[in-house]
Amino acid sequence: LLTGQADFIKGVVAMDGLPPADRMEVCFAGRSNVGKSSLINALTGRRAIARTSNTPGRTQEINFFTAGDSHYLVDLPGYGFAKAPVPVVEKWQRLLKAYLSGRATLRRAFLLVDMRHGVKEVDAEIMRMLDTSAVTFQVVLTKADKIGASAREKTLAQVREKLSKHAAAYPELVVTSSETGDGIANLRAIIAGLT
């Protein structure tokens, strides 16, 4: 499920460019460089369907991918990139708000958090936006391959504590590594199970 028939549909910079809302949709949000595009590649089993980069802020548009005929996977531009000019950040925040509150087919937002870093203030800001938009969000820990078991537990505890303050938070955390494939099948199953 979700594998093998993935395609890039389009990159969007404004609400009027969104593809028709004709199927279920999930989006991937998170700080620059957290691994959103890598996760989409891992989920679809296509190594380079979403462009990844060492340069934070590489993904500037809202990129739509299909996974089979049933879902859109939506790669959002990363936030919290210190070097981005203020007008760029403001334009992005307006578009993100419009997207999150105006997309009827959006079933869940996956909020990616680097397992080494935990939830930062910029993540909490997005969580508040998701609460306001009443979009259920689920935290996906990324880059689990980069740290050991005790550091993982520490981050999980910090994330759980932060989530307790957010009405739109889905309580189950997903631990992943796009590098090793850990947790990818689990996340695929979660997406496939959304109705």
**The CA-based dihedral angle spanning residues 16, 69, 101, 194, taken in that order and rounded to the nearest 10 degrees:** 180
The one-letter amino acid code at 191 reads I
Residue 25-44 contact track with ligand GTP, rule CB under 6 A, x = bound: -----x-xxxxxxx------
Task: Pick between residue 2 and residue 50 the one whose CB is nearest to ligand GTP.
Answer: 50
Three-state DSSP at 131 gives: helix
Rg over alpha carbons for the chain, rounded to the nearest Å, is 15
Are 130 and 109 spatial neighbours (Cβ–Cβ below 8 Å)?
yes
Closest-CA residue to 155 (of 173, 171, 177)? 173
Task: Pick between residue 48 and residue 104 the one whose CB is nearest to ligand GTP.
Answer: 48
**The two three-digit tokens of residue 13, written as one number:** 């910079």
Segment holding 62, helix H or strand E: strand 62-67
Of 42-61, which residues contact ligand GTP (CB under 6 A)?
Answer: 52-54, 56-59
Task: Pick between residue 37 and residue 133 the one whose CB is nearest to ligand GTP.
Answer: 37
Position of minimal CB gap to ligand GTP: 78
33 binds Mg ion per the rule CB under 5 A = no
Number of residues that bind ligand GTP (CB under 6 A): 23
List residues near ligand GTP by CB under 6 A. 30, 32-38, 52-54, 56-59, 78, 142-143, 145-146, 177-179
